[in-house]
């Protein structure tokens, strides 16, 4: 699935293909070890474009580590991940007739990471910037978008998450749910093709969970490709195209959202009986 370097023609073909039948994410035999701690032990996962995958699993099962590998916040120990058909983190180079895997440089990794938006459990907004300034930050300073254009686009993203009327508020003046909606707008401002959510509602008071899940549902309905780690079983049941249950660094069970009501594996049954 690795694309050769090519001109515009190749790139156009590749993106036309990506829009049709190339998985948005394809993880193959993914392992991750931190020193002697073997955290991921051969994860295979395919996420089709425009679909929502919900990853469930107990604390410590490796869910965050898997998302962080996809976003290249960690380096993979073994196996491979492709985003829209492109291998991440490495490229094949021909060295004296031999095919060798070479680590990508920071610029190349930056280009790949730009395909992804990530939302974390903690909102991570800049405290001394308004909601609008938070959303404009990366477009202006990373993508070098002219300020006026970035401001207009940021307002549109705030509108999308229902926060346009709070554009000039500082994070501390916003509820946790509102801050998380701004964090989603901030991720969307870079026009990612895939959104990763790592327990986006776990730090919220219960009455604020719904507004964030509502925004995520709207995104899913609009066709965004999403991988969501969450304990919100209702969201998984209603929104997920694919449910993946991880435990101990392996995928124990996967299927459509119907597996939530008919889990086959005892470990998944136990997990569900504890969270439901
Ligand atoms: P989950 O998100 O499912 O709760 P994590 O991916 O956060 O699980 O963690 C899986 C395991 O990997 C845990 O035992 C955790 O302590 C360990 N781990 C995660 N990140 C690191 C790290 N940077 N260094 C060492 N161990 C880590
Ligand atoms: Mg986690």
**DSSP single-letter state for residue 161:** T
Of 230, 51, 250, the C-alpha closest to 265 is 250
* Distance from the alpha carbon of residue 12 to the mean position of ligand 1, in angstroms: 39
Q: Rounded CA gap, 76 and 33, in Å?
A: 8
Sequential pLDDT tens for the chain (276 residues)? 334 443 344 444 444 444 568 999 999 999 999 999 999 999 999 999 999 999 999 999 999 999 999 999 999 999 999 999 999 999 999 999 999 999 999 999 999 999 999 999 987 899 999 999 999 999 999 999 999 999 999 999 999 999 999 999 999 999 999 999 999 999 999 999 999 999 999 999 999 999 999 999 999 999 999 999 999 999 999 999 999 999 999 999 999 999 999 999 999 999 999 987
ipTM of predicted assembly, 2 dp: 0.98
Q: Rounded CA gap, 191 and 117, in Å?
A: 8
Of 39, 22, 18, 17, the C-alpha closest to 30 is 39
Pairing status of strand 116-119 against strand 194-198: parallel
Backbone conformation region of residue 168, classed left if phi is above 0, alpha if psi is from -120 to 50, else beta? alpha
CB of 61 within 6 A of ligand 1: the answer is: yes
Q: Which of 55, 64, 65 to mutate to test the pocket of ligand 1 (most atoms within 8 A of CB)?
A: 65
Q: Rounded CA gap, 67 and 72, in Å?
A: 9
């Amino acid at each position: 699935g690795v694309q050769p370097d090519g001109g515009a023609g190749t790139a156009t073909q590749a993106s036309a293909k990506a829009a049709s039948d190339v998985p948005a994410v394809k993880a193959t035999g993914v392992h991750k070890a931190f020193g002697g701690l073997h955290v991921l032990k051969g994860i295979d996962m395919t996420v089709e474009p425009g679909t929502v995958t919900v990853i469930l699993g107990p604390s410590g099962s490796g869910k965050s580590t898997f998302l962080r590998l996809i976003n290249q916040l960690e380096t993979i120990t073994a196996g491979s991940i492709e985003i829209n058909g492109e291998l991440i983190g490495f490229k094949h180079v021909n060295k004296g007739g031999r095919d060798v895997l070479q680590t990508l440089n920071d610029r190349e990794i930056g280009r790949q990471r730009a395909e992804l938006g990530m939302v974390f459990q903690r909102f991570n907004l800049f405290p001394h910037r308004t909601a609008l300034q938070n959303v404009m930050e990366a477009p202006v300073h990373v993508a070098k978008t002219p300020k006026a254009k970035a401001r207009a686009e940021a307002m549109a993203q705030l509108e999308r998450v229902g926060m346009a009327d709070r554009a000039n508020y500082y994070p501390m003046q916003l509820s946790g749910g509102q801050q998380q909606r701004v964090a989603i707008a901030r991720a969307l401002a870079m026009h990612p093709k895939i959104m990763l959510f790592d327990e986006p509602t776990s730090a919220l008071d219960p009455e604020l969970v719904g507004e964030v899940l509502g925004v995520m549902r709207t995104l899913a309905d609009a066709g965004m490709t999403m991988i969501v780690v969450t304990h919100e079983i209702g969201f998984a049941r209603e929104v997920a195209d694919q449910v993946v249950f991880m435990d101990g660094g392996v995928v124990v069970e996967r299927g459509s959202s119907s597996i939530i009501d008919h889990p086959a594996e005892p470990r998944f049954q136990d997990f569900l009986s504890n969270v439901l």
